[in-house]
Amino acid sequence: MIERDGAMIGIVELKQRDLEKPDAVRPDAGKAELGYLLLPRAWGHGYAAEACEAVLDWFAEARPGEPVTLFTQTANTRSMRLAEKLGFTEIHCFEAWGAAQWMGVRAPAA
Ligand SMILES: CC(C)(COP(=O)(O)OP(=O)(O)OC[C@H]1O[C@@H](n2cnc3c(N)ncnc32)[C@H](O)[C@@H]1OP(=O)(O)O)[C@@H](O)C(=O)NCCC(=O)NCCS
């Protein structure tokens, strides 16, 4: 949970992808998946980037050497900018749920 001045302004989540599912996208890319969501009034301050970087730093210590994946719609420009800022690079693009989807991966630190 992302908190500011005592109020919840958003969440960052790290979940495990189910790679056993027959429709799992690029199962070779890793199991961990990053997700984020901020209330619109908290956009445009760098809070999502700060919170995601903290979560990714924690994950790098907890699970050294493991990559992290991320999915977003290509039309979601804020999310695409954030993904790039966090160091995710494109590994797959596909159509789903009526929209173009982007999959990125963040390689573990050397
Ligand atoms: C995706 C989402 C988290 C991005 O939020 P965001 O606030 O744009 O992301 P950041 O934390 O990277 O902030 C970047 C913005 O803060 C600005 N900013 C202001 N002060 C800043 C500071 N001190 N440091 C860094 N950035 C700062 C940047 O200029 C940038 O604004 P701009 O894009 O207007 O130039 C948000 O749009 C969201 O919750 N969307 C809905 C959920 C969603 O789409 N999730 C992804 C689906 S998988």
Matching residue, tokens 């900018």: 81
Six-digit token string for 94: 């596909």
Residue 48 in contact with ligand 1 by CB distance below 6 A: yes
Nearest ligand 1 atom to the CA of 76 is 44
**Nearest residue CA, atom 30 of ligand 1?**
44
What pTM, to 2 d.p., does this model score? 0.96
State the distance from the centre of ligand 1 to the C-alpha of 23, rounded, in angstroms: 30
Specify the 3-state DSSP secondary structure of 12: strand
**Structural domain count, the chain:** 1
Burial class (CB in 10 A: 0-12, 13-18, 19+), 5: exposed
Q: Which domain holds residue 8?
A: 2-106
pLDDT tens sequence for the chain (110 residues): 999 999 999 999 999 999 999 889 999 999 999 999 999 999 999 999 999 999 999 999 999 999 999 999 999 999 999 999 999 999 999 999 999 999 999 998 76
Which CATH number covers residue 61?
3.40.630.30
Phi, psi of 50 (to 5 degrees): -60, -45
In residues, how long is the chain?
110
Q: Which one of 11, 15, 45 would you pick to mutate in the ligand 1 pocket, going by the greatest count of ligand atoms within 8 A of its CB?
A: 45
Specify the 3-state DSSP secondary structure of 13: strand
